[in-house]
Each structure stands twice: as C-alpha cells, then as structure tokens.
Chains A and B, each alone.
Chain A
C-alpha cells in the first residue's frame, strides 16, 4: 500500500499539451476515480503513473519513492487494461502467473499463487482454460487476477468494465468494491462512466482538457460542484442551466422573472443558475413555463424534457403524470440551486 503524489505533471505530444501542471495527492488505501470526457487526459495520466508514458515535466512519487523515470515493472504498480490484454496462447493459470514466470519463480510456487488468486476471484475451475474459452466477465476477473498476483502497492484500472454488458458491469462493480474493501490497497480507476466513479470511489478527480476541474468525494462533487463543467458533467440527466443577471441574492432571467437564491451577486453581473432535474417540481403555477416535448418513463420515475422560454430543461416528474405536449409550470427548489459566474466558477 502506498500514497501516490503527482507534482506539477505535464505531458506534451509534440506541440499539443494534454496535461498541464497537474497536482494531485491520493492517500494510501484510497479508491480514486479519474473521471472526464474522452480526450481529457485521464488515460494518459494513468499511463504516466504506470510508466507506460514518459512524463514531460513534474514528478511522480509512489510511497516514498520518486518513480518519475522508473521502468513500469519497478514502480510497484499493476494495471488492468480495458481490453483485458490476456495472452491468448497461455492458460488462465499461466496468464495469472506470467510475471512470476518471467522472474523465474519455481513452477510449484506459480501454481500455488494461481490457485490462491483464482480462489479469491472464483476462477479455480477455469485455471486450465485459454482466454478464448472465457466469457467477458471471466476474462475481466483473470485480468484482475494477473494484477493481484503481483501484490502491488497501487492498482491501476483503465476503464476495465467498459467492454461488459450492463448487467455484468453492475456485478463486476460490486466485486471491485468488495476487493478494495478486502485488500485496502490504493486503487486508481479511469472511467468516463460517472456511475462507476460515484459508486466505487472515495475520491473522484474530474479532469477537463488536461486540468483538474475538481477533486473531492462523490457527495462533494454532486452537491458542491466547484464550477459549471463539474456541475454539468456529474449527474444524469445533467443539471439545467438558466442564463440571467445577478441582483443581490437573486437571479433575474431575461423575461424579468426574479429567482431568489442564497448566493450573493453584483447587480447586473452575467450569471448562470444551475438546478438539477430532481430539484424542479411540476406544478400548476410556477415562475418557469414550458411545453413537455418528450417524456421518458423509467419505472421508478419519469423525466420530462421541457421547452421553456429560457431554453430546454429536464425535470423529474414522478409526482404527477405528464404527457408529451402538456403545458407545464415549473417550480425550482432554489435552496438547492447553484450559481456560476461568467467564468464558470461556482459562487
């Protein structure tokens, strides 16, 4: 187990800077999710920690060691790849103990390690099969087993569940959470799926264009987004944004409607009011009016997509039945509203 410390990390591919001046500290035993849209630099960051990508500037420390220029094998990390990267010519047991075999460990010791790991991951009956004869979930477990056998200080996961179907993904997510609970080893997990990040991690780092947009607990990111990017990225359906102007403790919408909020703003300052779909009620009277264009019924709730004078909004409509085409009045719970200034920072 070890703490991971990234200081002033930059990465350039030619003239393109994909990560710039990034600082991050991941505590010993933490489950950290790197979350962000495609191309934000999260996989590059993971690969730099793994040693598969050179760092242009800055230092990486794992535990007390500076591993910035160390070879991948000497960093005490193990990685689970998105494609699983199981060696097709080797059996499950041979895949799991490939690192031991390369290091010249005796066959009996390898078999013992393979059996120990297989027992943890319920792979015992598959040890002599080749990867081609395994299902997606089984392959994923073998890939995790290959990382486990190395007893690393830090586990690195590069979108490990993205090739699985929805049901299996949920199951594997639970297994990963359990594994982390059992091992208590530092885990760094790259994903673009916020549900995975929210459910697994105790630290989520949201990346935007190679910079940390916000790092914090899932609760913080959802309820206290530091900026408009995080507010819009976390949550599904996404937060609604209404453009307006500041007026003390209120936001004045373009049609003159004033919405009183807790935040304080300069009069006339351009701002955006952010409100999550579940914090908007459908009522008979309200400050925002619009027409439901689409209604999605999900069983436990419904989402209505409403065309308002202030732009499209999504609202949770589980209190009263809504049909497409209905004229609706919307009442935002302004105590839970967020306000962002012209630069996108939360007020």
Chain B
C-alpha cells in the first residue's frame, strides 16, 4: 500500500469516525439535557434562551423527588417485581429449555412449535387478555399482577434450548452413570457449565422488567403498588408542569439500570447478541 492510498484510507476512517461522533451526540443530547435541567431552578428552566449548564446550581428537584413523593416505595416495588420476574423467568425457561432439548416425552415437538409461535405474537396484542385474566383472578392492584404476565419469555427458553442442544451428550451420559437425576443434571451440570449465559439472561431480563411501563401502568392504579416507571408519572403539580422535578424523577428511575449496565457491560452485550441471534 503506497502513501497515497494510506492517506485515502485515513480520510475515509476520519469521515466515518466523525459521522459516528455526530450520531452519538444526537443520541446523547436528550440525556445530557435532562440531567442538566434537573440541576436548574424551575424559573431558569422556562426562561428564554439556551443555557448549556445551569446558571445557578441546585439539587432542589432531587430533594423534592426523594422526599415529597413515594419514590422509595416505588423503587422497592420495582426491585421486588423485577427480581421476582428475573428469578422465575430464568427458572422456568431453563427447565423448559432443558426438557425440550434433552427429554423425550409425548408432545415435545408440538410444545416447541407452540413456544416458537408464541414468540411471533407481540406482547401488546395480549395485554387486554392479561388484564381480563388478572381482573377475573382478582389480582389487579397487586404486585403478583405485575409479575405474572411478564413470566412469558419464549426467547429465554429458546436460548437455553440452543445452549443445552450444544452440550456434548457424553457429559449427560457420564452424569447419568454417576447417578444424576434430571434435576441434578440441570442444576449440577448443564447450568453451572456456563453461568455466563444465565448471568447475561438475568441482567437483560432484570433490565427489561425494570423498564417495563405499559403492563405495570395498566395493572396497578394505587400509588402504593406502583413501580418506579409508573410512579414517576404521578410527580405532577397542581400549578403546572415542573420540568426539573419530573426529569429528576425520570433520572432517578433510570439510574439503577444505568448502573447495572455500566457494571455488567460485557454481559449485557453478550445477552443482546444472544437474543439478536435468535431474532435474526
């Protein structure tokens, strides 16, 4: 490669980097603007002109969100429901994936096709059915109602099945010779062989459950049972819109997920790639 072509490659590379940077700025700007706004006084937020940084810094919006709302309770509700959803989704998906992958039972193929078919149905299309069902079971306005419909996770079943399919059968047979039961095979052999998959799926399921808005919004109307995503819609004021307050609640609501993402970046990327592989 001569000097001229190297220069041309550098130019192309530079242009691509510049383009990526512009896209990143477009993507990050709303987050930046929201965070900056939360540190402004309400009067400064609505005044004419653009202030890239607050003229006067304040944490009043955060104090208000933390102490004058039920944010703490909503956090706890979110944490409880998200953890419960994560735990149950992983347990049921691993068991279902294992059964479909490793066990021979009548209707196995039909069950697998049903799971594949359920994957084609968008969740919002089922939401009225879920609502009627929860209502008839008398579970509306309970955390159970928030949790139950979110346990349907065909993608997680499919990822587990794919993984279990790829485990060489010698491991299974060696463990059977060693006297393992089916539960022991699942929990002592298949899952521990690659905790990475379970960790990745746990993180992405947790983030999905934490961020979910539509179903918890429909299932719960009493403030005490609300999740943080639904609860922040209650941060309104009788005297008009308070941008700093509302945005500070939104920032606080999104903060745990951001922290989880920052701490487990590699695992989250792995999980996204796993689900993308299924969806692709």
Taking beta carbons and an 8 Å cutoff, which residues of A are in contact with B? 50, 52, 71-73, 77-79, 81-83, 85, 87-89, 98-99, 101-103, 146, 150
B168 within 8 A of A: yes
Q: Is the CB of B193 within 8 A of A87?
A: yes
Query: 9 A–B contact pairs at CB < 8 A?
Result: A72-B176, A73-B179, A77-B177, A79-B177, A87-B171, A87-B189, A87-B193, A88-B193, A99-B178
Asked, given contacts A89-B192, A89-B193, A102-B188, whether A73 binds B171 with beta carbons under 8 Å apart, the answer is no
Give the docked Cα–Cα distance between A335 and B11 (Å).
Answer: 87
Closest to A79 in B: B177
Residues of B within 8 A of A102 (CB): 175, 178-180, 184, 188
The smallest beta-carbon distance between A49 and chain B, in angstroms, is 11
Residues of A within 8 A of B171 (CB): 85, 87
A-B pairs, 3 with minimum CB distance:
A73-B179, A99-B178, A85-B170
B51 within 8 A of A: no
Residues of A within 8 A of B223 (CB): none
Residues of A within 8 A of B184 (CB): 102
Asked, given contacts A102-B184, A102-B188, whether A85 binds B178 with beta carbons under 8 Å apart, the answer is no
Q: Is the CB of B188 within 8 A of A85?
A: no
The smallest beta-carbon distance between B164 and chain A, in angstroms, is 15
Give the docked Cα–Cα distance between A81 and B170 (Å).
Answer: 7
Asked, given contacts A89-B192, A102-B184, whether A83 binds B168 with beta carbons under 8 Å apart, the answer is yes
Q: Is the CB of A85 within 8 A of B193?
A: no
Residues of B within 8 A of A73 (CB): 176-180
Q: Is the CB of A79 within 8 A of B174?
A: yes
Give the docked Cα–Cα distance between A102 and B177 (Å).
Answer: 11
The smallest beta-carbon distance between B197 and chain A, in angstroms, is 13
Residues of B within 8 A of A99 (CB): 177-179
**Which one of A71, A85, A98, A146 contacts B168 once the chains associate, using CB atoms below 8 Å?**
A85
Residues of A within 8 A of B173 (CB): 50, 52, 72, 79, 81, 85
Residues of B within 8 A of A50 (CB): 173, 177
The smallest beta-carbon distance between A32 and chain B, in angstroms, is 19
Q: Is the CB of B176 within 8 A of A85?
A: no
The smallest beta-carbon distance between A11 and chain B, in angstroms, is 16
Q: Is the CB of B176 within 8 A of A52?
A: yes
The smallest beta-carbon distance between B103 and chain A, in angstroms, is 15
Give the docked Cα–Cα distance between A150 and B173 (Å).
Answer: 15
Asked, given contacts A85-B168, A85-B174, whether A103 binds B193 with beta carbons under 8 Å apart, the answer is no
Give the docked Cα–Cα distance between A52 and B171 (Å).
Answer: 12
The smallest beta-carbon distance between B168 and chain A, in angstroms, is 7
Residues of A within 8 A of B176 (CB): 52, 71-73
Closest to B181 in A: A102
Residues of B within 8 A of A98 (CB): 175, 178
Closest to A47 in B: B173
Give the docked Cα–Cα distance between A82 and B171 (Å).
Answer: 11
The smallest beta-carbon distance between B169 and chain A, in angstroms, is 9
Residues of A within 8 A of B178 (CB): 73, 98-99, 102, 146, 150
Instruction: Give the residues from 177 to 212 in chain B that come closer than 8 angstroms, CB to CB, to chain A.
Output: 177-180, 184, 188-189, 192-193
Residues of B within 8 A of A88 (CB): 193
Give the docked Cα–Cα distance between A99 and B193 (Å).
Answer: 17
Asked, given contacts A88-B193, A89-B192, A89-B193, whether A83 binds B170 with beta carbons under 8 Å apart, the answer is yes
Instruction: Give the residues from 94 to 134 in chain B that come closer than 8 angstroms, CB to CB, to chain A.
Output: none
Q: Is the CB of A103 within 8 A of B179?
A: yes
Closest to B188 in A: A102
The residue in A82, A83, A87, A146 that gathers the most chain B C-beta atoms within 10 A of its C-beta is: A87
Residues of A within 8 A of B192 (CB): 89
Give the docked Cα–Cα distance between A339 and B60 (Å).
Answer: 105
Residues of A within 8 A of B188 (CB): 101-102
The smallest beta-carbon distance between A285 and chain B, in angstroms, is 58
Give the docked Cα–Cα distance between A102 and B181 (Å).
Answer: 9
Give the docked Cα–Cα distance between A146 and B171 (Å).
Answer: 13
Residues of A within 8 A of B175 (CB): 87, 98, 102
Residues of B within 8 A of A81 (CB): 170, 173-174
Give the docked Cα–Cα distance between A113 and B251 (Å).
Answer: 57
Give the docked Cα–Cα distance between A79 and B176 (Å).
Answer: 10
Give the docked Cα–Cα distance between A102 and B187 (Å).
Answer: 11
Give the docked Cα–Cα distance between A78 and B193 (Å).
Answer: 22
The smallest beta-carbon distance between B177 and chain A, in angstroms, is 5
Give the docked Cα–Cα distance between A101 and B180 (Å).
Answer: 10
Give the docked Cα–Cα distance between A89 and B187 (Å).
Answer: 12
Give the docked Cα–Cα distance between A169 and B188 (Å).
Answer: 32
Closest to A101 in B: B188
The smallest beta-carbon distance between B258 and chain A, in angstroms, is 32
The smallest beta-carbon distance between B64 and chain A, in angstroms, is 50
Residues of A within 8 A of B179 (CB): 73, 99, 102-103
The smallest beta-carbon distance between A92 and chain B, in angstroms, is 15
The smallest beta-carbon distance between A300 and chain B, in angstroms, is 38
Give the docked Cα–Cα distance between A73 and B178 (Å).
Answer: 6
Give the docked Cα–Cα distance between A146 and B189 (Å).
Answer: 15
Give the docked Cα–Cα distance between A191 and B188 (Å).
Answer: 31
Closest to B170 in A: A85
Closest to A82 in B: B170
The smallest beta-carbon distance between A251 and chain B, in angstroms, is 49
Closest to A71 in B: B176
**Which one of B170, B177, B189 contacts A72 once the chains associate, using CB atoms below 8 Å?**
B177
The smallest beta-carbon distance between A239 and chain B, in angstroms, is 36
Closest to A83 in B: B170
Residues of B within 8 A of A82 (CB): 170
The smallest beta-carbon distance between A111 and chain B, in angstroms, is 17
Give the docked Cα–Cα distance between A156 and B86 (Å).
Answer: 43
Besides A82-B170, A87-B193, 10 other CB < 8 A contacts? A71-B176, A72-B173, A72-B176, A73-B177, A73-B179, A79-B173, A87-B189, A99-B178, A102-B179, A102-B180
